[in-house]
Amino acid sequence: MEIPENIPLTIHFELGRTRKKIDDLLQITKGTLYKLEQSEKNVVTIMLENQEIGRGKILTKQGKMYVEITELQKL
């Protein structure tokens, strides 16, 4: 079976996560800070259709942000 290669997919680059109670979310105002409980410095998790497919490192070049792939699972 041939797989069409021109189907658009959304890739997410996740920097970190945290869990909060609804009451905490109702108190959000401009300037509110949240510590990311599951994060590593300059490391992102690469997600494809809600499945982790790899990890990467955040880079900046000429004021733009990029992700360098450091680990990739076989698709």
Give mean pLDDT in consecutive 10-residue pieces for the chain, a chain of 75 residues.
Answer: 85 88 93 80 89 93 94 87
- pLDDT on residue 49: 86
Residue 2's pLDDT is 81
How do the domains of the chain map onto residue ranges?
A: 11-72
C-alpha 9: how far from its chain's center? 15
Predicted local distance difference test score (pLDDT) of residue 41 = 78
- Write out the DSSP string of 15-66: -------HHHHHT--TT-----SS-BTTEEEEEETTEEEEEEEEEEETTEEE
Architecture category of domain 11-72 in CATH: Roll (2.30)
At residue 36, the pLDDT reads 81
